[in-house]
Amino acid sequence: MRRVITHLKSQRKTFDLPLFLTVLVLVLFGLLMVYDASSVQGLKDFKDSYYYIRQQLLWVVLGVASMFFFANFSYHKLKVLALPLLAVSFVLLLAVFIPGLGVAGGGAHRWLRLGWVTVQPAEIMKLAAAIFLASLFEKKTRILPFVILILVVSGVTAVLQKDLGSTLVFTLSSLILYFAAGGLWWHFLIFLPFALGGISALIFSSPYRSKRILAFLDPFSDPQGFTYHISQVLIALGTGGLFGLGLGQSRQKFEYIPEVSTDSIFGIIGEELGFLGGIFLIMLFSFLILRCLIIAEKCSDRFGRLLAIGLTSWLGVQAAINLSSMVALLPLTGVPLPFISYGGSALVANLTAIGILLNISKEKIS
């Protein structure tokens, strides 16, 4: 009996160390850049240059605790929790419209104030949806509940909350998981016209979104107006050149770039660390996605494999959309850069996803 136990223990792996170390580097680098990018804003808004980094440090502690918890929490148990997690996440999505709880900004309703913290339920929904869809597709790829989920969640986030960026991340990552689970490719031809029609309607029914498309087509056509944001980011990247101005030497963080510590933080990274610094960060993200895909490939359990693909798709799509919008390959979208941007709910959700992936990596290889 002792030999059997010893053999079983030997078959189990420790968690994926390269993935853990990569995430650790990204989080530490994110802390450095959040302090760097937000110090001027913190001094102006709160007369405290350390205000934002203190907030982010707290979220890092919570996120790392969540990561270690889920790294040691059997992912198989998530199947039972999949539907309740989705239901709670959807309630939170709707709760942003409750007076006294929801926090509006820039005409959008995306945030929820719970006591002393403010969270963005769309980030929690991305995590919950990946778990639910992996559970849904474990035995069979089912298109009807999948389409209903996409339509309902997208309707709330894109139409009611006016958060097209999160909607794109949610929809694209869900589609990747659907096809990875064995969904028929010709379904894509059915989805595509409706998706394009829906996105076009959302864009052209909103002057704000329409101007973002125009800014994408010609970033310097109105540098004091609707192209101000992207033009300032491109100026920062261009100023950085090959090697950058040096850490802490950004000029654009002096209230030139909007959302400088959140969605636009890559502009400061490129300005201070240059093209080489930006490429190094992209390589880190590429390596992280590669490790996650290796975990998915080697997992012998279908639920674990699909869950790993869903979480990886979410992190990869969100990083790709953020970075692409910063270099004008895509229109500007309000999605944070995983592990780097300032923001609590996104960081905790991202680190929770990594914890689940680390737990999956401990699964016996078939």
pLDDT tens-digit profile of 7-48? 444 445 688 999 999 999 999 999 999 999 999 999 999 999
What domain range includes position 174? 54-361
Q: CA-to-CA distance for 195 and 260, rounded, in angstroms? A: 31
The per-residue pLDDT for 208 is 78
Considering only 100-104, 116-120, 126-130, 361-365, which range has the smallest mean pLDDT?
361-365
The per-residue pLDDT for 3 is 55
Tell me phi and psi for residue 106, to 5 degrees: 65, 30
Enumerate the β-bridge partners of residue 105: 108
Asked if 50 and 42 count as a contact pair (C-beta separation under 8 A), the reply is yes
Asked if 161 and 121 count as a contact pair (C-beta separation under 8 A), the reply is no
CA 3 to chain centroid: 45
Asked if 58 and 118 count as a contact pair (C-beta separation under 8 A), the reply is no
Q: CA-to-CA distance for 163 and 143, rounded, in angstroms? A: 25
Answer with the residue of higher pLDDT: 118 or 325.
Answer: 325
Q: Is residue 295 part of a domain?
A: yes
Q: Total structural domains in the chain?
A: 1
- Token pair, residue 295, equals 């975990």
| pTM of the predicted structure, to 2 decimals | 0.93
3-class state of residue 109 by DSSP = strand
The per-residue pLDDT for 4 is 40
Q: What angle do CA 177, 182, 187 make, to 5 degrees?
A: 85
pLDDT, tens digit, 9 for 90 and up, residues 293-323: 999 999 999 999 999 999 999 999 999 999 9
Q: Is residue 41 part of a domain?
A: no
Asked if 239 and 245 count as a contact pair (C-beta separation under 8 A), the reply is yes
- Token pair, residue 187, equals 């379904």
Q: Is residue 64 part of a domain?
A: yes
Whose tokens are 């999505």? That residue is 93
Asked if 50 and 35 count as a contact pair (C-beta separation under 8 A), the reply is yes
Q: pLDDT class for 107, splitting at 50, 70, 90?
A: low
Q: Which H helix or E strand runs over 171?
A: helix 164-180
Over residues 247-256, mean pLDDT: 93
CA 11 to chain centroid: 33
Answer with the residue of higher pLDDT: 217 or 272.
Answer: 272
Q: Is residue 25 part of a domain?
A: no
Q: Is residue 18 part of a domain?
A: no
The Cβ of residue 24 has, within 10 Å, a number of other Cβ atoms equal to: 14
The Cβ of residue 284 has, within 10 Å, a number of other Cβ atoms equal to: 18
Q: Is residue 202 part of a domain?
A: yes
Q: Is residue 15 part of a domain?
A: no
Q: CA-to-CA distance for 140 and 147, rounded, in angstroms? A: 15
Q: Is residue 77 part of a domain?
A: yes
Q: pLDDT class for 267, splitting at 50, 70, 90?
A: very high
- Token pair, residue 133, equals 């869809």
pLDDT score of 366 more than 60: no
First to last CA, the chain: 23
Q: CA-to-CA distance for 56 and 48, rounded, in angstroms? A: 14
Asked if 38 and 340 count as a contact pair (C-beta separation under 8 A), the reply is no
Q: CA-to-CA distance for 178 and 146, rounded, in angstroms? A: 8
Tell me phi and psi for residue 47, to 5 degrees: 55, 35
Q: pLDDT class for 55, splitting at 50, 70, 90?
A: very high
Q: Which H helix or E strand runs over 45?
A: helix 17-46
Enumerate the β-bridge partners of residue 118: 113
Q: pLDDT class for 5, splitting at 50, 70, 90?
A: very low
